[in-house]
Amino acid sequence: MIASAEVLDRVRVLRTEIERHNYAYYVLDAPTIPDAEYDRLFRELVGLEEAWPELVTAESPTQRVGAAPLQDFGQLTHGAPMLSLGNAFTDEDAENFDRRCREGLKCESVDYAVEPKFDGLAITLRYKAGRLEVGATRGDGYTGEDVTENLRTVRAIPLLLPPGAPQELEVRGEVLMYKRDFARLNARQRDAGEKEFANPRNAAAGSLRQLDSRITAQRPLRFFAYGVASPEALPHLTTHAALMDALMSWGFPVSPDRAVVRGATGLLAFYRRIGEKRAALPYEIDGVVYKVNAFAAQAALGFVSRAPRFAIAHKFPAEEALTELIDIDVQVGRTGAITPVARLKPVFVGGVTVTNATLHNEDEIRRKDVRLGDTVIVRRAGDVIPE
Ligand code: IVH
């Protein structure tokens, strides 16, 4: 029996509704319905697709649950190479970047599109006829791993582009895990007696590189777009800022903290503003990225070896470093509470030298199985006490 017009219609309505809620939740960060209601819509769609399997399409939201495990990942050659960025570590490095841009463009002042530097994994998404065709990791910059099945499970990644979006498009961005989702995942791993991840970046990488995409589907991965492979293929968009707005209108999550600033003063003010906000952001960042805003100016500046001359990453001080555990002391608080404190070989992390870290309690020491002489990871986030 073939599906009636009524069923077809209901399937279409459910898919639109579910993707609209995915969009509100994962892209706008503003959920529109309670989880239970979402689950109800989802189960109804699953029921209809089970009854009429011929209605299942690759872009149905029900297909975001993962597919049969692969033997290994295939290789994909990128449409345009995925380059890396040069780094700036000091104000002077950022000022020199601005000076080189001004000199290269022979102009008085340059406008920059500026945004956070997401601490995740670079990926590329290729759309054909408005459908997600393939997605890959960066790999060596020219060829990456085909992780399409895994990327399909990431709800922030659109499977279908809306009418009006270019039908051929290669979007570049970063897959990452929110700090709170990472903490929950690690608690789940711990309860299940599984290995915990060192940080959100490792958790995102480990989740994306699963040969079994059904496992990836259970990991809370997010995505942010920060560019396209070939801006010249979109001639009506003349600046990076306009491209980011367009990507947002096509359903891609982009950073709400992006801005356009002028000159080195603008760059450094942005660096400081995001630095102050860093600890409060839901995801980890390791710096900010400055890009000459006008694509014509980007093309004029071009590339040097494997990095663009028109963009640079201005890094924040590292929040993690390795050091040695020298001793464990016990601190007695005013209320009599006992807190074990790790004495560490001094290490520079997050812009300060750390020599002590609280271990919270005895259980925590047992759980982490820390012993004198161990090499430990010291993490410092904003003003938070080193962990
Ligand atoms: S633009 C030509 N923008 O940083 C390269 N990259 O070394 C264009 N990254 O692995 C990259 N946030 O994945 C750009 N807002 C951002 C970024 C960003 C993170 C990563 C990127 C790449 C590395 C560049």
- The whole-number pLDDT of residue 367 equals 74
pLDDT reported for residue 6 = 94
Ligand 1 binding pocket includes 84 (Cβ within 6 Å): yes
CA-proximal residue: ligand 1, atom 18 (nearest): 117
pLDDT value for 348: 76
CA distances to 15, 22, 32 from 10, in Å: 9, 18, 20
Ligand 1: atom nearest CA of 173 is: 13
CA distances from 203 to 175, 183, 196 (A): 11, 10, 9
Q: Which of 82, 83, 84, 285 to mutate to test the pocket of ligand 1 (most atoms within 8 A of CB)?
A: 84
For residue 258 and ligand 1, the question of a CB distance below 6 A is answered with no
What is the model's pLDDT at position 387?
65
**Torsion, Cα of 217, 221, 224, 225 (10° steps):** -30
242 CA to middle of ligand 1, Å?
18
Please report the pLDDT score of residue 385 as a whole number. 54
Gyration radius of the chain's alpha carbons: 24
Sheet holding 131-137, edge to edge: 131-137, 121-128, 169-177, 221-228
368 catalytically annotated: no
Q: State the pLDDT at residue 214.
A: 95
Q: Quote the ligand 1 centre to 5 CA distance (angstroms).
A: 46
**So what's the pLDDT on residue 381?**
58
- Residue 365 Cβ < 6 Å to ligand 1: no
- Predicted pLDDT of residue 386: 61
DSSP three-state, residue 72: coil
Q: Which of 117, 179, 315, 345 is catalytic?
A: 117
360 CA distance to ligand 1 middle (Å): 36
- Identify the burial level of 177 via C-beta atoms within 10 angstroms of its C-beta, where 0-12 means exposed, 13-18 middle and 19 or more buried: buried
Indicate which residue's Cα is closest to atom 17 of ligand 1.
Answer: 117
> Ligand 1, closest atom to CA 87?
7
117 Cβ below 6 A of ligand 1: yes
Report the interhelical angle of 5-22 vs 35-51 (nearest 10°).
140
**CA distances from residue 326 to 193, 284, 365 in whole angstroms, order as listed:** 28, 29, 14
pTM of the model as a whole: 0.86
Place of tokens 């500046």: 301
Helix then strand count (H, E) for the chain reads: 11, 17
Q: Is 226 in the pocket of ligand 1 (CB under 6 A)?
A: yes
For residues 193 and 201, the answer to whether their CB atoms sit within 8 Å is no
Q: How far is the CA of 314 from the centre of ligand 1 (A)?
A: 11
The Cα–Cα gap between 224 and 118 comes to: 8
Q: How far apart are the first and last CA of the chain?
A: 61
Among 316, 264, 346, residue whose Cα is nearest residue 94:
264
How much distance in Å is there from the Cα of 122 to the middle of ligand 1? 7
> What was the pLDDT predicted at 293?
98
User: Residue 312 class from Cβ within 10 Å (0-12 exposed, 13-18 middle, 19+ buried)?
Assistant: buried
**Side-chain-side CA neighbours of residue 14 (13 Å):** 25
What is the Cα 73 distance to its own chain's centre? Answer: 21
pLDDT values of the chain reduced to their tens digit, one per residue, 387 residues: 788 999 999 999 999 999 999 999 988 888 888 989 999 999 999 999 999 999 999 899 999 988 888 999 999 999 899 999 999 999 999 999 999 999 999 999 999 999 999 999 999 999 999 999 999 999 999 999 999 999 999 999 999 999 999 999 999 999 999 999 999 999 999 999 988 898 999 999 999 999 999 999 999 999 999 999 999 999 999 999 999 999 999 999 999 999 999 999 999 999 999 999 998 999 999 999 999 999 999 999 999 988 999 999 999 987 777 888 888 888 887 888 878 888 888 777 766 778 888 777 677 777 777 788 888 878 775 544 566
Query: Does 122 sit in the ligand 1 pocket, CB within 6 Å?
Result: yes
DSSP state of 74: P
